[in-house]
């Protein structure tokens, strides 16, 4: 927006108010040095980073300048990166930095890009304006696998069964089921109960949330029978336990592993998922998470342009809009910024190309047909199947 000569008031609550995770008052403060992933176009996040670079993203351009010596990935000197971005923003005459907590949404046009640790006052305001049912303070996302990577000599699909779970399957296609015999279940259980977990942050007061949405590893602590009854109820037959996979509401090539939201480390989740009969070679498109995360139910609230369906001129971007990851936040921020500029100048809204990762993210989080929406990362599974995959995947 500033590059188009539009004056911008940029509100940042730090250092007047703390977030619980940030350590400085600088912009673009990364948690990890590899938070931006890499530029490998054969990987979904790398493909997205290349898109952003081609579209002139100053964040990705600056990231290249801050790479650690001798590496091809985007492993950064994160302190240098943050200082450079802060300097670039501070040096823009069109941008006025206001260090104050925002507690209302009165002035439009406006972009809300406050991230997973949005302040309590602003969170309450968004929930009041758009309905508490459309606002979440915690995220319990299930792993997602590619349908084409499932071994149907061991898994099967059927719409006929009524399961004792809170998650229903699409009646037109049914769920995919992966049965485990006693030995297979015991092996699975042993992997699960010995797997390392992600350490919770001090600000993640998850006691009440874990009670109502226990991750699979906490259910396992209650014993094998409790785990089977809550997450892996078998059908009639000889299976000891049954893993249930639910088709994604938007893309038939993506299946969510029901009840597998987890705080296990990703390597441990991969080992666990690959121990399931039928999923030994499954392509994991997204891992399970259970963590503090502030986000709106964007399918009900946002259009593909990331503008509010009910409040013209109000845009959301980043994790609060329903994406996961730094590159994804940059992509949605780029899109929201372009469309806010279009709104101001009376131009038609910008929509990324059908085969772009940024466009796929925007379409996914704004798809009104979601029944079980969970925040999404860049993945090949969200690219429409009618679009030819990029040649770099070959």
The model's pLDDT over 289-334, given as tens digits with 9 standing for 90+, comes to 876 678 899 999 999 999 999 999 999 999 999 998 999 999 999 9
Which of 67-76, 106-115, 270-279 tops mean pLDDT?
Answer: 270-279
Q: Do residue 246 and residue 305 come from a single domain? A: no
Residue 371 pLDDT class (50, 70, 90 cuts): confident
As a whole-number percent, the residues of the chain with pLDDT over 90 amount to: 58
160 or 265, higher pLDDT: 265
Mean pLDDT of the 226-238 span: 80
The total number of structural domains in the chain stands at 2
Residue 157 reports pLDDT greater than 90: no
The residue among 268, 285, 302 that closes a domain is 285
Question: Where would I find the H helices in 149-199?
Answer: 182-194
DSSP-derived pairing of the beta strands 110-112 and 314-316: parallel
Last residue of a domain, one of 285, 311, 345: 285
Indicate which CATH number applies to the domain containing 325. 3.50.50.60
Instruction: Give alpha helix (H) positions in 91-230.
Output: 120-130, 182-194, 207-212, 216-221, 224-230
Using 50, 70 and 90 to split pLDDT, how confident is the model at 203?
A: low
Report the run of H or E that residue 247 belongs to, with start and end.
strand 241-247
**Residue pair 288/213 in contact by the 8 Å Cβ criterion:** no
Give CA separation, 32 vs 35, 77, 303, in Å. 5, 10, 31
Q: Which domain holds residue 259?
A: 143-285
> From residue 263, how far is each of 200, 201, 270, 290, 377 by CA, in Å?
9, 12, 13, 5, 17
Choosing from 251, 270, 285, the residue where a domain stops is 285
Segment 68-85 mean pLDDT: 85
Q: Which residue has the tokens 């450079």?
A: 84
Summarised one tens digit per residue, pLDDT across range 13-41 is 988 777 666 778 899 998 788 889 889 99
Strand-pair category, 241-247 with 175-180: antiparallel
For residue 160, the model assigns a pLDDT of: 46
Average pLDDT over residues 135-161: 82
* Residue 188 confidence class, pLDDT cut points 50, 70, 90: very high
Instruction: Dig out the tokens for 359 from the structure.
Output: 């466009």
- 72-76, 194-198, 222-226, 304-308: which has the highest mean pLDDT? 304-308
- Whether residue 31 sits in one domain with residue 19: yes
pLDDT at 126 over 60: yes
According to the model, what pLDDT value does residue 31 have? 77
Same domain, 97 and 164: no
Assess whether pLDDT exceeds 70 at residue 217: yes
Query: Worst-scoring range by mean pLDDT, 57-61, 91-95, 176-180, 383-387?
Result: 383-387
pLDDT at 72: 65
328 CB-side CA count, 13 A = 23
Position 186 pLDDT exceeds 80: yes
Q: Which element (helix H / strand E) includes 357?
A: helix 357-365
CATH number of the domain residue 202 falls in? 2.40.30.260
Q: Could you give the CA distance from residue 269 to residue 64 in angstroms, rounded to a whole number?
A: 31
pLDDT-derived band at 392 (thresholds 50, 70, 90) equals: very low
Average pLDDT over residues 164-178: 56
Domain identity same for 99 and 177 = no
102 plus 171 within the same structural domain: no
Q: Which residue has the higher pLDDT, 292 or 3?
A: 3
> Do 275 and 172 reside in the same domain of the chain?
yes
| Gyration radius of the chain over CA positions | 22
pLDDT at 311: 96
- Contact present, 392 and 42 (Cβ < 8 Å): yes
Cα distance between residue 217 and residue 215, in whole Å: 6
Candidate from 23-27, 67-71, 387-391 with smallest mean pLDDT = 387-391
Q: Is the pLDDT confidence value at 225 over 50? A: yes
Ranges 24-33, 197-206, 337-346, 366-375: which has the least confidence: 197-206
Higher pLDDT, 222 or 276: 276
Q: Share the mean pLDDT of the chain.
A: 86
3-state secondary structure of 128: helix
16 in the same domain as 148: no
Answer yes or no: do 280 and 365 share one domain: no
pLDDT at 207 exceeding the cut of 60 = no
316 and 274 in a common domain: no
What pTM did the predictor assign? Answer: 0.80
156 and 123, same structural domain? Answer: no
Give the residue-averaged pLDDT of 39-63.
94
CB atoms within 10 A of CB 161: 13
Q: How confident is the model at residue 97 (pLDDT cuts 50, 70, 90)?
A: very high
- Residues 84, 99, single domain; the answer is yes
What is the rounded average pLDDT of the residues 334-362?
95
CA 9 to chain centroid: 27
pLDDT of 388 reads 53
Q: Answer whether residue 159 shows pLDDT above 80.
A: no
**Residues 108, 190: one domain?**
no
Token couple for 27: 């912009």
First-to-final CA distance of the chain? 37
């Amino acid at each position: 927006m500033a590059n188009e000569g539009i004056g911008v008031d940029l509100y940042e609550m730090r250092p007047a108010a703390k977030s619980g995770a940030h350590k400085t008052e600088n912009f673009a403060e990364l948690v990890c040095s590899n938070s931006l992933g890499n530029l490998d176009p054969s990987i979904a996040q790398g493909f997205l980073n290349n898109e952003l670079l081609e579209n002139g993203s100053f964040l990705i351009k600056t990231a290249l300048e801050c790479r650690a010596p001798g590496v091809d990935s985007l492993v950064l000197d994160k302190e240098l990166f943050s200082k450079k971005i802060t300097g670039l923003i501070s040096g823009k005459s069109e941008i006025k930095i206001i260090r104050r907590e925002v507690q209302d949404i009165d002035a439009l046009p406006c972009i809300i890009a406050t991230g997973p640790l949005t302040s309590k006052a602003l969170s309450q305001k968004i929930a009041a304006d758009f309905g508490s049912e459309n606002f979440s303070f915690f995220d319990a996302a299930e792993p997602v696998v590619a349908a084409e990577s499932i071994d149907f000599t061991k898994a099967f699909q059927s719409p006929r069964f009524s399961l004792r779970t809170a998650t229903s399957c699409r009646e037109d296609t049914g769920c995919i089921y992966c049965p485990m015999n006693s030995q297979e279940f015991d092996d699975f259980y042993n992997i699960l109960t010995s797997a390392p977990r992600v350490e919770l942050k001090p600000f993640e007061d998850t006691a009440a949330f874990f009670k109502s949405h226990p991750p699979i590893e906490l259910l396992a602590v209650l014993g094998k029978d409790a785990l089977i009854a809550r997450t892996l109820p078998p059908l009639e037959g000889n299976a000891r336990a049954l893993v249930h996979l639910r088709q994604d509401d938007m893309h038939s090539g993506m299946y969510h592993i029901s009840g597998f939201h987890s705080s296990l480390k990703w390597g441990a989740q991969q080992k666990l998922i690959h121990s399931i009969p039928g999923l030994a070679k499954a392509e994991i498109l997204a891992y399970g998470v259970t963590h503090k995360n502030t986000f709106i139910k964007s399918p009900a609230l946002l259009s593909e342009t990331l503008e509010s369906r009910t409040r013209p001129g109000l845009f959301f971007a980043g994790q609060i809009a329903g994406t996961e990851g730094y590159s994804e936040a940059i992509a949605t921020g780029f899109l929201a910024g372009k469309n806010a500029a279009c709104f101001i100048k009376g131009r038609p809204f910008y929509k990324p190309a059908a085969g772009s990762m940024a466009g796929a993210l925007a379409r996914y989080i704004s798809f009104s047909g979601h029944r079980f929406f969970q925040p999404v990362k860049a993945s090949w599974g969200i690219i429409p199947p009618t679009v030819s995959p990029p040649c770099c995947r070959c």
